[in-house]
Chain A
Amino acid sequence: MAQLVAAMASVHVPLLTSAPHLADQAMWEKINRGFATLRDTLVSSGADTVVVISDEHFNALDPRRYPSFGVVTAEIGVGPVENWLGIPRNSIKVNFEPALAEAILSEGVHQGFDLTRVGEAGLEHGFLTCLHFLTPRWDLSYVWLIQNCVLPPLPSVRRCYEFGRMVGTAIRRWDSSRRVALLGTGGLSHAVGTPDMGRIDPQFDAKFLDLLCANSPALCNITDAEMDAVGNGTHEVRNWVAVAGAVEGTKGEVVMYEPMMAVGFGMVQFQVA
């Protein structure tokens, strides 16, 4: 059976590639150290497949058709779709791992998740930004799982934890010798496209990171109202919660946190044996 060998989460701030000048040298040192830590974990785990849990910002999905939970089942992914990401449009091609995508789809439906098969999906910053730093040669295989964090009604935080738990089970039950890493992306507190863009709430972030790293059941009690109050982008912490669900019972550690670049800029990794 496949092994889940690493679990981590990071912000997917598109400004890192679209406007890198917005971080000064000291900020870049922190950012690069953070990604280097996650990259070291990934490399030392021997992961050959990365399952990314992220939302999708209407570059592939549509405001008329957006599932609560989706799995990209294509064999190949090409991106970025965006023309503003600072990475040439459609210059990145990745190999997906459709067998694992299908295994997650089957496990999900079997467990009662109305998980939607998303065939092809152009790659966008939710999927790409962290991997641009973590696997810059794009030489692993990937799975992209999409959680709706952007188009209400959103699945509850508890449901996202349960979704992650199911994903962990699916990976461990997958009949394969693969070593699989899990990467949740997005958040932490921030606002996207609203007048309060630039707003960050370090208090919310600290509370969230405490609960996440303790892998506490109280994590599931975080409400939409709490997240709305600190910026619409904060809903993306669901992707971190799902990672915690996949490694239920395992503690995490904060790799870095700094309020900067208009976001509570953080990274965590879980102590997966």
Chain B
Amino acid sequence: MSAQALNIMLVDLFRSEEAFTRYQRDPDTVAAQYNLTPEEQERLKAKDMGWLYQRGVHPYILAQFALSVGYDLRQYASQLREATGQGEVMH
């Protein structure tokens, strides 16, 4: 499936505490509702931000998902830089 499925799922998760709790309890069932591929499901469960970014998830959506699950932005940016070899240190 396209990154759009991930975009839609992540938006649903960071908007709704209830949806996020449901996902935490049973990630595979929730992910199946969005037709994620097995790899997308696994990378999402691992919160592999670098992979998700390279997969094409919208950066605004990915960053807000990261924040909503307690990431520090520096930690998030660091994962992206590591995965892509791009970027610079945050001011």
Inter-chain contact A58/B59, CB cutoff 8 Å: no
Inter-chain contact B88/A150, CB cutoff 8 Å: no
Q: Is the interface of A mostly helix, strand, loop or mixed?
A: loop
Inter-chain contact B61/A63, CB cutoff 8 Å: yes
Closest partner residue, chain A, to B61 (CB atom)? A58
B46 within 8 A of A: no
The answer to whether residues A150 and B84 also contact, given A62-B11, A195-B77, A197-B90 and a CB cut-off of 8 A, is no
* Complex partner residue of A83 from B7, B14, B73, B87, CB under 8 angstroms: B14
Inter-chain contact B64/A262, CB cutoff 8 Å: no
Inter-chain contact B58/A198, CB cutoff 8 Å: no
* Complex partner residue of A59 from B15, B73, B84, B90, CB under 8 angstroms: B15
A63 CA to B76 CA in the complex, in Å?
22
A118 CA to B1 CA in the complex, in Å?
29
CB-CB under 8 A from A64, the residues of chain B are 4, 8
A194 within 8 A of B: yes
Closest partner residue, chain A, to B77 (CB atom)? A197
Query: Number of B residues whose C-beta is below 8 Å from A?
Result: 31
CB-CB under 8 A from A262, the residues of chain B are 73, 90-91
Q: Smallest CB–CB gap between A13 and chain B, Å?
A: 11
Query: Number of A residues whose C-beta is below 8 Å from B?
Result: 31
CB-CB under 8 A from A192, the residues of chain B are 59-60, 63
Closest partner residue, chain A, to B86 (CB atom)? A195
A259 CA to B91 CA in the complex, in Å?
9
Q: Smallest CB–CB gap between A3 and chain B, Å?
A: 36
Q: Annotate B6-28 by CB proximity to A: 1 below 8 A, 0 otherwise.
A: 01100100110100000000000
A62 CA to B61 CA in the complex, in Å?
10
A82 within 8 A of B: yes
Inter-chain contact A197/B73, CB cutoff 8 Å: yes
B32 within 8 A of A: no
Closest partner residue, chain A, to B85 (CB atom)? A195
Inter-chain contact A194/B67, CB cutoff 8 Å: no
Inter-chain contact A195/B60, CB cutoff 8 Å: no
Closest partner residue, chain A, to B80 (CB atom)? A195
Given contacts A150-B58, A195-B86, A262-B90, 17 further A-B contacts (CB under 8 A): A63-B61, A81-B15, A82-B67, A84-B67, A150-B60, A193-B63, A194-B80, A195-B77, A195-B87, A196-B87, A197-B73, A198-B87, A198-B88, A198-B89, A198-B91, A232-B59, A232-B60
